[in-house]
């Protein structure tokens, strides 16, 4: 769900699926606060200088300008809901 497609105003919601053994790119969002909700699977979350395990049912708040990525450490797809406020924007995303 995104303002450009659905008419909502202040946030976006997306599902990400990360295959076993894969890791997302280390990145940050300069303006957006992001919340990850782990729907299924397990992974290793990098949040700033911290690394910690996450599992189904966990929520992670990612403050603006905080470097982050997640690695699937399980045998099945890691499924995450990603909510951004303000809404996700490629222009707000910086690979680090």
Domain segments of the chain as ranges:
3-95
Burial of 29 (C-beta count, 10 Å sphere; 0-12/13-18/19+): buried
Model confidence at 86, in pLDDT bands (50, 70, 90)?
very high
- Looking at domain 3-95, its CATH architecture is Sandwich (2.60)
| Lowest mean per-residue pLDDT among 9-13, 14-18, 65-69 | 9-13
Q: How many Cβ atoms from other residues are within 10 Å of residue 18's Cβ?
A: 19
> Which pTM does this prediction carry?
0.91
Q: At residue 3, does pLDDT exceed 70?
A: no
pLDDT over 90 (residue 80): yes
pLDDT, one tens digit per residue, over 21-77 is: 999 999 999 999 999 999 999 999 999 999 999 999 999 999 999 999 999 999 999
């Amino acid at each position: 769900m995104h303002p450009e497609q659905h008419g909502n105003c202040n946030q976006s919601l997306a599902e990400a699926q990360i295959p076993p053994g894969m890791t997302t790119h280390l990145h940050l969002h300069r303006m957006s606060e992001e919340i990850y909700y782990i729907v299924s699977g397990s992974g290793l979350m990098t949040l700033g200088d911290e690394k910690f395990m996450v599992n189904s049912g966990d929520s992670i708040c990612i403050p603006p300008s905080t470097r982050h990525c997640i690695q699937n450490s399980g045998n099945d797809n890691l499924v995450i809901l990603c909510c951004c406020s303000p809404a996700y924007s490629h222009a707000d995303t910086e690979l680090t």
